[in-house]
Amino acid sequence: MTIEQAIALAPAERAVNLIGSDLTEKSLKLHLEGLAGVDAVGLEQRAAGLGTRSIKTTSKAWALDTIIKLIDLTTLEGADTPGKVRSLAAKAVLPDASDASTPQVAAVCVYGDMVPYAADALGSAWSNGSDNGINVAAVATAFPSGRSSLPIKIMDTKEAVANGADEIDMVIDRGAFLSGKYGVVFDQIVAVKEACRRENGTYAHLKVILETGELNTYDNVRKASWLAILAGGDFIKTSTGKVSPAATLPVTLLMLEVVRDWHLLTGEKIGVKPAGGIRSSKDAIKYLVTVAETVGEEWLQPHLFRFGASSLLNDVLMQRQKLTSGHYSGPDYVTID
Amino acid sequence: MTRLTVPKTYKLYIGGKFPRSESGRTYEVATKKGAFLANAALASRKDARDAVVAARAAFSGWSGATGYNRGQVLYRIAELLEGRREQFIDELMATESLSKSAASAQLDTAIDAWVWYAGWADKYVQVAGNGNPVSGPYFNLSTPEPSGVIAIVAPQDSSSLLGLVSVIAPALVSGNTVVVVAHQNAPLSAISLSEVLATSDVPGGVVNILTGSPAEIAPWLASHADVNGLDLAGAEQLEWVDLQIAAADTLKRVLGPVVGVPAPSVERIVQWTETKTVWHTKSLI
């Protein structure tokens, strides 16, 4: 065990700057275990308090449009087909066919092999590495379990990037994390980050999925968030959507607090993506409030905050139609996913 | 020792649960002479919205049950009503100033209406459906299927229990789910009926009962895009032409106001159905 702990880790820039150039499993572990514990009751109370805000009329209209702009429209099913991805892309470009003023979503999120179809279907709406347009995000590294060897995870990532993915959603090895092998998780994130490099030297954005539903404690969520940031993640993401519980407000609040602390410490801005389980506009608005109150309204932009969701968009569109028409809308007036 | 009375709280019935109004409002229910009887929940448009969501969620299960099964479930409601005779008679006497025999007669008619409609659950398809004659090697079959969520304004002038039963039962027979605004001034028997429904085999959300002002709630139900039918039986005193116009905007089936209580009829069942016609080859015979 002690021998293992002396193994030097990949020299990720952030970790080297914060922990020191002699980065080892031991020094990383000491650093993570030195983080303050989470006050679970306080955290949940704070999250519940933020969820009670009443957002009405013009603020609500703004919130609904903002939510749409922050959505990663997702399909991650074994039964996905190029046709399904094409219809998803069409919805990303024009979410509400009855109202052309509806904003476009931030990205479509698909499995790696579906990236070419998604990029093709988005056509001129595809950002293709630029700042404008809709991104294509791909899940990689043996999503959702993360149970495969590192070379396979790297190839998985490289292939998705070569296919044109603008963003990579990777999963961490929760088994290694829970057994205290922080170095393994760290090295894997660093390696996948490197695999996100395109031929021209730029990087696809890396979102690190912590799968908080499997981490058991808030302390672990804080450690994993910190670890993912140190290793070079651009975004920290709550869940795959395949494990229950998926995103919850307290967990997202905790991750936002880590992001806030990191920003205060280094000036760097890390993104947060709650994913899974957010189905209603009402829930999504609670997240917007939480973001604004924790890290500031500046974070309510697609490069700093995302919703990973599929059914959420339809509910937001129905709420939007209600604001426009004055009467309640129904599922017959939005597309079937 | 004198004993304090324990008055009953009359709440809404939405999705199989008994919530208070989201708005927190209540209104006083009084006898015809003005004596206080109870506080009932004054439902808001958001309660109506929640009720439609609950009704929509319950639709696939209720419409997916066999007609035979629905008939049994509806018949059991009649059984349970019979078991609560005293309570219903007391409430009808208090809210409508009826004599005991008149209240009892209304309850009997209501129970008989349930039984009558329950019997149609596995029979109306044979009456409203058809094997159509075609000149080819095919079967051509038309069958009625439930429309979906039906919003109902229950009769408002008299017979609060019988009126309610006479509008919700026909909608339920074919597998629709309902959101009903009860008699505004005599809502007590409607809420007691919901307690019967909650303890019967009717799945939560199939019947949703709102108490309060039809004038306030009906326009929201009439314009709601996720409601498939609108029964204006008790809307005589409302701006029902406007309600029909709002309903037409979102393509609803509509029944107009009725004087008194609608008599039992197969037409009321078939009104809340859509006809599906399919072709089927004969070649495998």
Q: What is the ipTM of this complex?
A: 0.86
Chain A: residues touching B (Cβ < 8 Å): 321, 326-333
Query: A194: which residues sit within 8 A by CB, 6+ positions away?
Result: none
Mean residue pLDDT across chain B: 95
Q: From residue B220, how far is each of A157, A166, B43, B197, B247 by CA, in Å?
A: 51, 44, 12, 25, 10
Report B:244-283 residues touching A (Cβ under 8 A). 246, 249-250
CA distance B173 to B5: 40
Q: Do B220 and A328 touch (CB under 8 A)?
A: yes
Q: A207 - beta bridge partners?
A: A169, A235
For tokens 């908080």, name the residue: A212
Nearest CA in chain A to B50: A328
Across the interface, which of B220, B225, B246 has its CB nearest the CB of A330? Answer: B225
Q: Give pLDDT tens digits along chain A (337 positions).
A: 444 445 677 778 899 999 888 889 899 999 999 999 999 999 999 999 999 999 988 999 999 999 999 999 999 999 999 999 999 999 999 999 999 999 999 999 999 999 999 999 999 999 988 888 999 999 999 999 999 999 999 999 999 999 999 999 999 999 999 999 999 999 999 999 999 999 999 999 999 999 999 999 999 999 999 999 999 999 999 999 999 999 999 999 999 999 999 999 999 999 999 999 999 999 999 999 999 999 999 999 999 999 999 999 999 999 999 999 999 999 999 998 7
CA distance B220 to B212: 13
Nearest CA in chain B to A332: B226
Beta strands in chain B (DSSP E): 26-30, 36-41, 130-131, 138-146, 149-153, 177-181, 207-210, 229-231, 253-255, 273-281
- Asked if A181 is an active-site residue, the reply is no
Q: Do B250 and A326 touch (CB under 8 A)?
A: no
Catalytic residue among A96, A156, A166, A169: A169
Q: Do A328 and B49 touch (CB under 8 A)?
A: yes
State the pLDDT at residue A305: 97
Report the gap between the CA of B25 and the closest CA in chain A (Å).
19
Q: Do A327 and B224 touch (CB under 8 A)?
A: yes
Coil, strand or helix at A104: coil
State the pLDDT at residue A281: 95
Report the gap between the CA of B266 and the closest CA in chain A (Å).
29
Coil, strand or helix at B92: helix
Give the number of other Cβ atoms within 10 Å of residue A146's Cβ.
22
Comparing C-alpha atoms, which of A137, A214, A138, A204 is closest to residue A173?
A214
Catalytic residue among A237, A283, A286, A315: A237
Q: Do A327 and B223 touch (CB under 8 A)?
A: yes
In this prediction the pTM is 0.91
Nearest CA in chain B to A326: B223
- Asked if A169 is an active-site residue, the reply is yes
Please tell me what DSSP assigns to residue B13.
B
- Chain A interface test: which of B224, B245, B274 (most A C-beta within 10 Å): B224
- Asked if A237 is an active-site residue, the reply is yes
